[in-house]
């Protein structure tokens, strides 16, 4: 048997991952602390866009076990979940899902029975995970529309930055005098905010 790893994910910074961590430790008390990968990021992000999971994927080897509390930790869309399950299977990684107890059982001589049961349960749970995502997005859209009707929805609050400094640096960036990364550092802006600022500046000057 290889190493045992755990993966814990919550969707945003305000959520607490402790319940998932405790569940994994309760089922597998001997799991090493360093082998539990934890991150706070949306399940809608691709596997390569989740830093901790991307590292975990590189660490996993044939014969290792990966423990998660629920199937939707791998993703929220059914197609994404199935693709990741195929990836793990192809890599020879054994997946343990706390909410699907049959994945925790070892059954010699009747592995095909367990595979059949697990495949059926995974089909059901992945469908539920995707439906929950669709419903969540529907409620969010409905809430935004209602807020707009009442005139209280303001949208995303723009990040404040020194616009005059941005205007001074912009020509140097466009002419190749400085790289985009250096421009961002000088303005103390993240890439998404930086490119929004570029779009806003270009719209106001053209």
- Is residue 59 packed enough to be buried (19+ CB in 10 Å), middle (13-18) or exposed (0-12)? exposed
Q: Which two tokens stand for residue 80?
A: 């994404």
- Sign of the dihedral through C-alpha 73, 74, 80, 85: negative
pLDDT for the residue 161: 84
pLDDT for the residue 20: 94
Map out the domains of the chain as residue ranges: 4-130, 163-205
Which residues, including other chains, have CB under 8 Å from residue 134's CB and lie 6 or more apart?
Answer: none
CA torsion angle 176 198 164 154 (round to 10): -170
pLDDT for the residue 113: 47
CATH class of 4-130: alpha beta
- Report which of 114, 107, 102 is spatially closest to residue 71, judged by C-alpha positions: 102
pLDDT for the residue 110: 46
Question: Please, which residues bridge with residue 50 across strands?
Answer: none
pLDDT in single tens digits along all 206 residues of the chain? 789 999 999 987 778 899 999 999 999 999 999 899 999 988 778 888 888 999 899 999 999 999 999 888 988 777 888 888 889 888 989 889 898 887 887 755 445 445 665 566 667 666 666 666 556 556 666 665 666 666 655 555 566 788 889 999 999 998 999 998 899 999 988 876 788 788 888 888 76
Query: Helix, strand, or coil here: 16?
Result: coil
Query: Which residues are designated catalytic?
Result: 11
């Amino acid at each position: 048997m290889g190493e045992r790893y755990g993966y814990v994910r919550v969707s945003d910074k305000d959520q607490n991952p402790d319940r998932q961590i405790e569940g994994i430790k309760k089922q597998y008390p001997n799991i090493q602390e360093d082998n539990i990968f934890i991150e706070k990021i949306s399940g809608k992000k691709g596997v390569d866009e989740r830093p901790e999971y991307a590292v975990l994927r590189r660490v996993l080897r044939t014969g290792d076990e990966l423990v998660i509390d629920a199937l939707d930790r791998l993703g929220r869309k059914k197609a994404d979940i199935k693709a990741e399950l195929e990836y793990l299977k192809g890599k020879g990684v054994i997946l343990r899902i706390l909410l699907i107890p049959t994945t925790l059982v070892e059954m010699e001589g009747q592995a095909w029975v367990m595979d059949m049961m697990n495949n059926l349960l995974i089909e059901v749970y992945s469908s539920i995970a995707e439906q929950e995502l669709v419903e969540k997005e529907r409620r969010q859209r409905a809430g935004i529309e209602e807020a707009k009707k009442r005139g209280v929805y303001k949208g995303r609050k723009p990040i404040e930055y020194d616009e005059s400094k941005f205007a001074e640096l912009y020509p140097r960036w466009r002419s190749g005098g400085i790289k985009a990364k250096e421009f961002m550092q000088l303005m103390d802006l993240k890439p998404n905010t930086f490119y929004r600022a570029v779009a806003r500046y270009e719209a106001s000057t053209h």
